[in-house]
Chains A and B, each alone.
Chain A
């Protein structure tokens, strides 16, 4: 088995209205329940918007803080789910379902498992 991160990229801007977001979140909940009953769900995290982020940088041994995200962009990582499945095809099937539910660009990326140097 292999672990993958299914990452959702959200457009920068206001959060959609509850009547839009509600049904989508309900479907995402169903998607997660299906992952769990398939024994494939590991972990899910949603992130606050990039305006809440703080970046730390080390320069000459000194740590400096800046307000805002590491990279400014039109889209940012909004959250991710870690899944445990047989191979990329299975991961892509779950990722496709997620993308279809949310309409968001979705990145499927393997977790480094330490077996390849």
Chain B
């Protein structure tokens, strides 16, 4: 580092640096200001104003010693200014409604003056945990929880969130406005829930983060860049939650699950954009750093011995990523983990994934019998897995029909190409065999 870069009065901050600060500090600043003002819209506006003020300043003369402290102090002053202007307007309004014989609205500013913490440069209080629990309150719709989390904690714009979830921007904007109005009007509290409610409420927060991750990871459709960004954001939120709630094993489990899944991203799609099965992936392209971190988290979870659905799924992924080649995969251990998952969090999808492990341990016939009992109407993976099992049993015609059904059901063009290719290979091999 040169002296000019190191000195605070030297060169200005780069656009990339400022963008990094924005990603890192936006949620924290909003979280503090929601507590200070008790108003999400006011907090968001104040933080936006503070960033707008920071941009030319930091570009010209570099970052302050504590960008977060500077932003929060500046945003708070902006918010107070706004409230003062609002009060002037409101006093006229109060006079008007007093004439109509109604009670005066309460002043919101008293709370602000009592709040004296968050000195610039000092340790900034961290309210992001409260904000996460408020955004993911079970009284809000699932889709709203995800949108609010990305918007308030991730600093994504409504347009970005709309693009990520493939809905029109106006729809997403309405969803967010409605959710914020419900938080305000229904009195959803701004606090970390007590011990009695914590397990259920934490599950909702974890589900929202995992939903963000899956939306990014599913190669169903849409802009690859946005999707990669969603995965990164979900992992960032997972890390933040793990840092704020170190005693919760499921938080570590979710982080490990996301890291181990994301580690295989690069090898999951061929250069032509076709899907590559786990068994056929180039394991040299897996992200070893993320895998090492994920494995360490899984080991820590095992030592704690309080298993949960995310920890078990992470452990399954740890076994997969532990194998140097597909043939070395310890399927017996994976099957044991699926058995455990079926006890803790049984579902048809888990049963289907378990059937894949059964095929490796006990053979395709046993697995096929299990899939006969699974009811997942309209889910392409059921016929896709059955097709694979049927092909291994030599039932080529049945397998081809199942691949065709799966190709019809999937929403993703990459998956459809993949399934049609497998069907074509089957019938070609059959022709050769017959000829």
Residues of A within 8 A of B (CB): 2, 4, 86-89, 91-92, 109-110, 114-116
Establish whether residues A87 and B188, one from each chain, have CB atoms under 8 Å apart when the complex forms.
yes
Question: Which residues of B are in contact with A by a Cβ distance under 8 Å?
Answer: 102-103, 105-106, 137, 139, 184-189, 193, 197
23 contacts between A and B (CB under 8 A): A2-B187, A4-B187, A87-B187, A88-B137, A88-B139, A88-B186, A88-B187, A89-B188, A89-B189, A89-B193, A89-B197, A91-B187, A92-B139, A109-B186, A110-B185, A110-B186, A110-B187, A114-B102, A114-B103, A114-B105, A115-B105, A115-B106, A116-B185
Chain A residues contacting B186 (CB-CB under 8 Å) are 88, 109-110
Residues of chain B contacted by A91 (CB below 8 angstroms): 187
- Chain A residue with the shortest CB-CB distance to B189: A87
**A-B contacts besides A2-B187, A89-B193, A89-B197, 4 pairs, CB < 8 Å:** A88-B139, A88-B189, A115-B106, A116-B184
CB distance from A84 to the nearest CB of B (A): 11
Taking the nearest CB of chain B, how far is it from the CB of A60, in angstroms? 30
The 3 closest A-B pairs by CB, nearest first: A87-B189, A2-B187, A88-B187
Q: Which residues of B contact A4 (CB under 8 A)?
A: 187
**CA of A88 to CA of B188, assembled, Å:** 5
Secondary structure at the B interface, as helix, strand, loop or mixed, is loop
Complex: A110 Cα to B187 Cα, angstroms: 8
- Measured CB to CB, the nearest residue on chain A to B188 is A88
Interface majority SS on A: helix, strand, loop or mixed?
mixed
How far, in whole Å, are A47 and B189 apart by their CA atoms in the complex? Answer: 31
Q: Which of B103, B186, B193 has the most CB of A within 10 A?
A: B186
B207 to chain A minimum Cβ distance, whole angstroms, is 18
- Bound-complex Cα distance A86 to B191 (A): 12
* A residues near B188, Cβ cutoff 8 Å: 87-89
B residues in contact with A87, CB < 8 Å: 187-189
B411 to chain A, nearest CB (A): 34
The closest CB in chain B to the CB of A92 belongs to B139
A72 CA to B186 CA, complexed, in Å: 28
Chain A: CB-nearest residue to B103: A114
A residues within 8 A CB of B137? 88
Bound: A65/B195 CA distance, A: 53
In the bound complex, how far is the Cα of B202 from the Cα of A96, in angstroms? 19
CA separation between A4 and B189, bound complex, in Å?
14
Chain B residues closer than 8 Å to A116, beta-carbon distance: 184-185
| Nearest chain B CB to A37 CB, angstrom units | 20
Residues of A within 8 A of B189 (CB): 86-89
- Complex alpha-carbon distance, A89 and B140, angstroms: 12
A109 to B187, CA, bound (A): 10
Distance between Cα atoms of A99 and B102 in the complex (Å): 36
